[in-house]
Each structure stands twice: as structure tokens, then as C-alpha cells.
Structure 1
Amino acid sequence: MTTGSIRLYSYWRSSAAYRVRIALNLKGIPYETMPVHLLRDGGEQHSAPFSDLNPQELVPVLLHGSRILRQSMAIIEYLDETWPTPPLMPATARDRQRVRAIAQMIACDVHPLNNLRVLQFFEKTWNVPQAERDTWVRHWIQVGLDAVEDTLCDHPSTGDFCDGEQPTLADCCLVPQVFNAERFGVDMAPYKTIRRVVQNCLALEAFQAARPENQPDAPAGSGGN
């Protein structure tokens, strides 16, 4: 299937957009990045042109021709169903359930608690100091990564990647969450299996090209921070 016109509305440091960039790169699908600055002028995601694309006022949004696609997990599964090679889901129902479970542990249970809009609410509505906000973020990331590590460690389905010997939806979610963990100063030493899997992912060009510091809207000298 030909790709047609694909545009990804993205912010360089958004972990949800990061997931979709990885998936697009793994599929070898060319796309145009449409930067949405989540901080400038109160957040460009709140502007009328973007809120028309996504009433949630969140990135990412993917345009495939005239189709408007929202929510990173749903976008990735759309990509996998539309361009099935290489697959981002295992062949068996049991293994697909495991991959979805790992991905949802991150995307549904960890990521929302350290999302920008949550932290902005703490700051602007409750006047929570920066140090306390950072403590909140680290706590919930650690709780989540503890569970992911236990899920991956010594499991027979865990290979070079979260499930088997090629990247899946789970890896698309794990790598951005580890980026967030490192950004907020989480001690990654206890997470031996996670660190090994992420190292294997980042050895692939598809993951490297998706890194935040390699995006066209990344600030000069961002270095991933």
C-alpha cells in the first residue's frame, strides 16, 4: 500500500508522539512533522486550528490523507494493520495480549500521571512547588517501572525486546517512558531487564531517529533533556 500524504502533529518531548515516531520509523513510512509547541503562548495545542483536529488538545495527531487519527496506541495499531510488515504485534493471541498489557501498563497507568497537563494543574491551580511535582513524577514512574521490570524479568517470552526478538508495540511505549524517567532523575539501576531491552532498541536506527533531541522542533543543544 502506498503511504499517501502522512503528517504527524508532534512535540519533540512528548512521549506519546515519540511512540508514534518509533512505529512510523520501524515501518519505514515517510512522514512530515508538524510541530505543536506545548508551552509557547500558553500551549499551541489549545489554539483553534489544532483543537479542531483534536478536541482533547493533545498530541499526537496523525493525518493520513483526509483521515484524522488520534490517540497514540490506536494510531500505532492502525499503522500496523495498514502496513503489516514488519509487524508490531506477535502472531498469537496470547502473545498479543502480553504486548498490549505491557504497553497499557505504561501508556494508561504511568504516563498519564506525569503528563504535562497534570503537572501544570499542580503548578497553576494548587501552587505545588517544583520539587514536590518532581517527587510525584518520580514516585509514579518508579511504581510503574517496578511492575514492568517484574513482568519482563525471567519471563520466557522476553527476548532481546519486550516480547521476542523484534520490536513490538510494547517497546514503542517503553523507550519513551524510560526517556521520561531519566529526564526526571529516576534511578534506573534497579531495572536490569528494562535497561537491556532499551539498549537493544536504541541500537536500531528507527529508535535513534525518533529520539526527542533528533526532532526538527527540538531546541538547539537539547541533548534529550
Structure 2
Amino acid sequence: MAQAHIIFYDIISSLDPPAWSPNTWRVRYALNIKGIPYETVWVEYPDIEDVCKEIGAAPTSTIAPHYTLPVIQDKSTGVVISDGPLIVEYLDKQYPDTTQLFPPGTIALQAGFTSAHGSAISPINHLSLRRTNAILNPRSQEYIRRTREQAAGKKIEEITPVGEARAVGWEKYRGGLGKVDSWYQKSEGPFVMGESITFADITVVSWLVFLKIIFGEDSQEWKDIAGWHNGRWERLVNTFAKYQY
């Protein structure tokens, strides 16, 4: 493998260890699965745009320039890349002797899978918002509260459903995961593509680990998820545990 010197920009939390974001988990898992050495630079939410501009990272939305993490900076090539899937595609091509997470001919297929997965689990976005904000440091908490409330026109406490609405939301999320489970059932192995881990599996696991982290391993929320669909999600998370850090 070509000598790598990757700087990985991730969003910090108040937890120890600080990793939590499902979007950045996808790149952290990829780097660890590939065995590519890297160092993490932890960034607070309100600093993301300035950090990205300083290192030359492109915005991930060009309608109104919007900067997000993950970003990597490959010191061995001078390349700076934004956006999880693009980062992993780059790592596959630049370091071909590592595990290929986008096997030849699968980029379009996996893009379709990850899009469908995102739609299937979308009810979790509002259900998790309040807990997500609670694990951040004060500066990032203020930023998320201000930007999300401005976009939604209501308080975070009003965005996150409670009571019966919460129960309905969780049932919709379980149904969405049930759809994903049905896709896995068609596989001839534990992963989407049989016996081989791909970016599709990393995406699924990243969202599950995110929920396990923000709600807590001993929470009823995680216990429920772990028991759904014959325990598939807990098994998948446990399989990836060796690639977390």
C-alpha cells in the first residue's frame, strides 16, 4: 500500500470517545477497515465552514455554499475531499491494495442503496434531534439549536415528537428498518453483497451506532432496536465493533 498520511476532520461531541456522527462514522469505518493510518482533527459545528475554507475543502451543497464534515486531507497526495461517498471512492482508487468498499461496477448500485436506506429510516431524524444536541459541547449546541430552529420555524423541543407522536414515529422507523432487513434477507451472507463488507453496510451500521451512542447502550431505545428483525442490527453492529477505533 502506498504510504498514507490522512488527516480526517470529524465533528466533536462531549462524549469520550467523541465520535458520534453517522456521516463521519462512514469514513472512520472505511479508514479502519482499510487499515489506512490517519489522525483525527476534531471540529465544533460553528467552525466547520472556516476549517473547510482554510484547507480548501469544497462545499457539499452549491445552491447556497454549505460546508459539512467529513473531510479528509491526504498529505501524501495533496488531495482534499469532502463528502463521505466521494472520500471512500478516492480511498479505493488511491489505495487499491486495501479492502475495496466500492467493488468494480457497484458505485451506482450502492448509491441507489444508500439513497433508499436514507428514505427508509428518515423518521429517525426528528426522533433523534434532541438527544443529538444534548451530547454536543455548548458552542455546537447553540449552533445546532439556532440553525435547526431557524430552518424549522419552531423549537427543537417542538421538532422532536413526544407521547403518541413519538410512538408513531418509532413504529415508522421500525418499519423502515424492516424494509432494509428484507433487502438483507435476499443476500447470501451477512452483508449486502454476501460475505464482503461494502460501503452500503458501512452506511447502515453508521446510523445504528449513532443511535446506540446518543441514546446509550442501556437505553430502552437501543434495546428495542437490538431486538428487532431477529437481532440483525445488534449482530451487524457487533461485527463492526473491531473497526470503530
Is the structural similarity TM-score above 0.5? yes
1:123 aligns with 2:126: no
Change (3 A) 1:45 1:140: farther
String of CA shifts for 1:141-180, please: whole Å, max 9, x gaps: 4454232112112x1x341223221311112111111123
Alignment pair present for 1:61 and 2:71: yes
Aligned counterparts, 1:44-83, within 5 A: 44-46=47-49, 48-52=50-54, 53-55=57-59, 56-65=66-75, 66-83=78-95
Which string of whole-angstrom CA distances, capped at 9 and with x for unpartnered residues, describes residues 90-129 of structure 1?
A: 46x4x66554433333357647973879876443452235
**Structure 1 moving runs of 4+ over 6 Å:** 115-119
Cα separation, 1, equivalents of 2:124 and 2:53: 22
Q: Count the aligned residue pairs.
A: 197
Corresponding residue of 1:223: none
Q: Is contact 1:54-1:61 (8 Å) kept?
A: no
The change in CA–CA distance for 1:143 and 1:63 in structure 2 (over 3 A counts) is: farther
Aligned-residue offset at 1:58: 0.8
Return 5+ residue gaps in structure 1 as ranges: 210-225
How far, CA to CA, are the matches of 1:45 and 1:110 in structure 2?
Answer: 26
Asked if residue 5 in structure 1 is aligned to residue 32 in structure 2, the reply is no
Mapped to 2, the partners of 1:120 and 1:104 lie a distance apart of 28
> Is 1:196 aligned to residue 196 of structure 2?
no
CA distance in 2, matches of 1:108, 1:3: 38
2:25 alignment partner AA = Y
SS of 2:228 mapped into structure 1: coil
Structure 2 gap ranges (5+): 12-18, 60-65, 133-142, 216-220
User: Does the 8 A contact of 1:60 with 1:72 survive in 2?
Assistant: yes
- What's the CA shift for 1:32? 1.1
Alignment of 1:1-225 (within 5 A): 1-11=1-11, 12-38=19-45, 43-46=46-49, 48-52=50-54, 53-55=57-59, 56-65=66-75, 66-84=78-96, 85-90=98-103, 93=105, 98-106=109-117, 110=121, 114=125, 121-124=147-150, 125-130=152-157, 132-133=159-160, 135=166, 138=170, 141-153=173-185, 155=186, 157-182=187-212, 183-184=214-215, 185=221, 187-188=224-225, 189-192=227-230, 193-202=232-241, 205-206=242-243, 208-209=244-245
Q: Which amino acid in structure 2 is aligned with residue 45 of structure 1?
A: I
Q: Which residue of 1 aligns with 2:139?
A: none
Kept in 1: contact 2:145–2:156 (CA 8 A): no
Query: Taking structure 1 as reference, are residues 120 and 195 closer, same or farther at Cα in structure 2, changes over 3 Å only?
Result: farther
Aligned partners of 2:110 and 2:200 also within 8 Å:
yes
Question: Retained in 2: the 8 A contact 1:106–1:177?
Answer: no
Q: Is the 8 A contact 1:9 1:60 kept in 2?
A: yes
TM-score (norm 1): 0.71
Tell me, yes or no, if the aligned pair for 1:5 and 1:31 is still in contact at 8 Å. Answer: yes
Identity among equivalent pairs (%): 25
1:163-199 residue CA offsets vs partner (Å, 9 max, x unmatched) = 2213111121111111233435363122333333333
What is the one-letter code of the residue matched to 2:35?
G
The alignment yields a C-alpha RMSD, in angstroms, of 3.3
- 2:153 partner SS: coil
Contact 2:120 2:173 in 1 (8 A): no
Answer with 1 or 2: which has the greater Rg: 2
